[in-house]
Structure 1
Amino acid sequence: MSDPLVSEQAYLARAREHLGEMRRRTLSLEVQSADRLNGEFLAAALWRRAASLVDDPTTTLFFGRTDHDDGERWYVGRRHVADPHGDPVVIDWRADVSRAFYRASRTERFGVVRRRRFGIEAGRITAYEDEHLTDPGEREQRSEILAREIERPRVGPMRDIVATIQPEQDEIVRADVGTTVCVQGAPGTGKTAVGLHRAAWLLYAFREKLGRAGVLVVGPNASFLDHVSAVLPSLGEVEVRHTTVEAMTAVHGAVRATDEVAVATLKGDARMAEVVRRAVWSHVATPTEPLVLPRGSRRWRVPAYEAAEIVAELTGRGVRYAAARDMLPQRLSHALLLQFEEAGDSPDDRVQDAVARSREVKRWVDAVWPALTPPQVLHRLLSDAAFLAACADGVLDTDEQALLLHPKPARTPGASRWSLQDVVLLDEIADVLRRTPSLGHVVLDEAQDNSPMQLRAVGRRCSTGSATVLGDIAQGTTPWATPSWDASLAHLGRTDAVLEILDRGFRVPAAVIEYAARLLPFMAPGMSAPTSVRDDPGSLVVTHVPAARLWPATVTAVRHALEAEGSVGVIVPDAAVARCAKTLLGAGIEHHVLGDEALPEPVDLDATDGSRDDADDGGADRPPPPPPRVSVVPATTAKGLEYDRVVVVEPTAMAAAEPDERTGLRRLYVVLTRAVSGLEVVHAEPLPDPLAV
Structure 2
Amino acid sequence: METERAHLAAARAALRAMREDAEALDTSDVATDWVNAAILRSDIDARIRALADLSDTPLFFGRLDYLDHRTHTGTEDESADGTSFHIGRRHVHDAEGDPMVVDWRAPVSQPFYRASAKDPQNVALRRRFGYAGGRITAYEDEHLSDPGEAARSSRLLQEEIEKPRVGPMRDIVATIQPEQDEIVRSGIEGTVCVQGAPGTGKTAVGLHRVAYLLYTHRERLARTGTLVVGPNASFLHYIEQVLPALGELEVRQATVDELVAHVPVRGTDSPAAARLKGDARMATVLRRAVRAGVTPPAEACVVVRGSRRWRVPGYELAELVEELLSRDIRYGAAREALPQRIAHAVLTRMEQAGEAPDDRVQDAVARNAAVKAVVKTAWPAVDPAKLVLRLLSDPEFLATQAEGVLDADEQRLLLWEKPARGVKSARWSAADAVLVDEAADLVSRTASLGHVVVDEAQDLSPMQYRAVGRRCSTGSATVLGDIAQGTTPWATASWREALHHLGKPEAVVEELTQGFRVPREVIAYASRLLPAIAPGLREATSVRESAGDFAVRTVPDGVLTDAVVHACRETLERREGSVGLIAAESRLPELAHALDAAGIPVLAPGEETSEQRRLTLVPATLAKGLEYDYVVLDEPDAIVAAEAEAPDGAGPRTGLRHLYVALTRAVSGLTILHSQPLPEPLRDTGAES
Q: What's the offset of the Cα at 1:596? A: 8.1
| Partner residue of 2:413 out of 394, 403, 412 | 403
Q: Which moved more, 1:50-59 or 1:548-557?
A: 548-557
Match of 1:359 in 2: 369
Q: What's the offset of the Cα at 1:18? A: 0.3
Match of 1:318 in 2: 328
Mapping of 1:423-438 within 5 angstroms? 423-438=433-448
The runs of 5 or more residues in structure 2 that have no matched partner are: 71-82, 644-649, 685-689
1:31 has 2:31 as partner: no
Relative distance call for 1:17 and 1:374 in structure 2 (3 A) is: same
Relative distance call for 1:327 and 1:359 in structure 2 (3 A) is: same
Query: 2-side partners of 1:100 and 1:63: how far apart?
Result: 14
Q: How big is each residue's C-alpha offset from its partner over 1:41-84, in whole Å with a ceiling of 9 and x where there is no partner?
A: 11111111111111111122100001011130010000000001
Q: What's the offset of the Cα at 1:627? A: 8.1
- Give yes or no for contact 2:483–2:492 (8 Å, CA) kept in 1: yes
| Partner residue of 1:278 out of 252, 270, 288 | 288
Match of 1:620 in 2: none
Q: What's the offset of the Cα at 1:561? A: 1.7
Query: 2-side partners of 1:211 and 1:426: how far apart?
Result: 29
Q: What's the offset of the Cα at 1:586? A: 2.1
Q: How big is each residue's C-alpha offset from its partner over 1:185-207, in whole Å with a ceiling of 9 and x where there is no partner?
A: 00000000000000000000000
Match of 2:238 in 1: 227
Query: 2-side partners of 1:535 and 1:139: how far apart?
Result: 18
Mapping of 1:333-348 within 5 angstroms? 333-348=343-358
Relative distance call for 1:182 and 1:43 in structure 2 (3 A) is: same
Match of 2:647 in 1: none
Letter in 2 for 1:669: Y
- Give yes or no for contact 2:158–2:545 (8 Å, CA) kept in 1: no
Match of 2:687 in 1: none
- Give yes or no for contact 1:375–1:414 (8 Å, CA) kept in 2: no
Letter in 2 for 1:293: V
1:178 has 2:189 as partner: yes
Match of 2:224 in 1: 213
Q: What's the offset of the Cα at 1:521? A: 1.4
- Give yes or no for contact 2:116–2:144 (8 Å, CA) kept in 1: yes
- Give yes or no for contact 1:156–1:626 (8 Å, CA) kept in 2: no
Q: What's the offset of the Cα at 1:139? A: 1.9
Match of 1:641 in 2: 626
Relative distance call for 1:295 and 1:596 in structure 2 (3 A) is: farther
- Give yes or no for contact 2:167–2:610 (8 Å, CA) kept in 1: no
Query: 2-side partners of 1:383 and 1:12: how far apart?
Result: 66
| Partner residue of 2:61 out of 60, 63, 86 | 63
Letter in 1 for 2:655: G
SS, match of residue 258 in structure 1: coil
Q: What's the offset of the Cα at 1:132? A: 0.5
Letter in 2 for 1:589: I
Query: 2-side partners of 1:379 and 1:44: how far apart?
Result: 42
Q: What's the offset of the Cα at 1:559? A: 1.4
Mapping of 1:137-176 within 5 angstroms? 137-176=148-187
Q: What's the offset of the Cα at 1:625? A: 7.7
Query: 1-side partners of 2:42 and 2:553: how far apart?
Result: 55
Query: 1-side partners of 2:305 and 2:7: how far apart?
Result: 83
- Give yes or no for contact 2:523–2:542 (8 Å, CA) kept in 1: yes
Query: 1-side partners of 2:386 and 2:246: how far apart?
Result: 44
Match of 2:669 in 1: 678
Q: Which moved more, 1:134-143 or 1:188-197?
A: 134-143
Letter in 2 for 1:24: E
Query: 2-side partners of 1:60 and 1:279: how far apart?
Result: 57
Q: What's the offset of the Cα at 1:107? A: 1.5
- Give yes or no for contact 1:511–1:536 (8 Å, CA) kept in 2: no
The runs of 5 or more residues in structure 1 that have no matched partner are: 598-623
Q: How big is each residue's C-alpha offset from its partner over 1:13-42, in whole Å with a ceiling of 9 and x where there is no partner?
A: 010110000000001112232322221111
Match of 1:121 in 2: 132
SS, match of residue 157 in structure 1: coil
SS, match of residue 414 in structure 1: coil
- Give yes or no for contact 1:595–1:634 (8 Å, CA) kept in 2: no
- Give yes or no for contact 2:27–2:37 (8 Å, CA) kept in 1: yes
Mapping of 1:285-684 within 5 angstroms? 285-537=295-547, 539-562=549-572, 563-594=574-605, 628-658=613-643, 659-684=650-675
Question: When the two structures are superposed, what TM-score results if normalisation uses the length of structure 1?
Answer: 0.93
Query: 2-side partners of 1:167 and 1:47: how far apart?
Result: 35
Letter in 2 for 1:529: E
- Give yes or no for contact 1:59–1:121 (8 Å, CA) kept in 2: no
| Partner residue of 2:18 out of 17, 22, 27 | 22
Match of 2:47 in 1: 49
| Partner residue of 1:265 out of 270, 275, 286 | 275
Letter in 1 for 2:3: S
- Give yes or no for contact 2:297–2:374 (8 Å, CA) kept in 1: no
Query: 1-side partners of 2:570 and 2:212: how far apart?
Result: 40
1:134 has 2:145 as partner: yes
Matched residues, number: 662
Query: 2-side partners of 1:45 and 1:631: how far apart?
Result: 39
Query: 2-side partners of 1:626 and 1:515: how far apart?
Result: 30
Letter in 1 for 2:549: S
Q: Which has the higher contact order (CA 8 A, sep 6+)?
A: 1
| Partner residue of 2:681 out of 665, 679, 690 | 690
Query: 1-side partners of 2:117 and 2:548: how far apart?
Result: 34
1:86 has 2:86 as partner: no
Query: 2-side partners of 1:254 and 1:98: how far apart?
Result: 48
- Give yes or no for contact 1:654–1:664 (8 Å, CA) kept in 2: yes
Query: 2-side partners of 1:684 and 1:360: how far apart?
Result: 78
Letter in 2 for 1:515: Y
Q: Which moved more, 1:530-539 or 1:370-379?
A: 530-539
> Percent identity over the alignment?
59
Q: What's the offset of the Cα at 1:626? A: 7.1
- Give yes or no for contact 1:117–1:129 (8 Å, CA) kept in 2: yes
SS, match of residue 298 in structure 2: coil
Q: How big is each residue's C-alpha offset from its partner over 1:583-642, in whole Å with a ceiling of 9 and x where there is no partner?
A: 222222222112789xxxxxxxxxxxxxxxxxxxxxxxxxx9878311111111110110
Moved over 4 A (4+): 624-627
SS, match of residue 266 in structure 2: strand
Q: Which moved more, 1:497-506 or 1:33-42?
A: 33-42
Match of 1:614 in 2: none
SS, match of residue 644 in structure 1: strand
Relative distance call for 1:536 and 1:67 in structure 2 (3 A) is: closer
Match of 2:646 in 1: none
Q: Which moved more, 1:403-412 or 1:228-237?
A: 403-412
Q: What's the offset of the Cα at 1:579? A: 3.0
Q: What's the offset of the Cα at 1:141? A: 1.0
- Give yes or no for contact 1:155–1:627 (8 Å, CA) kept in 2: no
Match of 1:187 in 2: 198
SS, match of residue 424 in structure 2: helix
- Give yes or no for contact 1:151–1:677 (8 Å, CA) kept in 2: yes
Match of 1:604 in 2: none
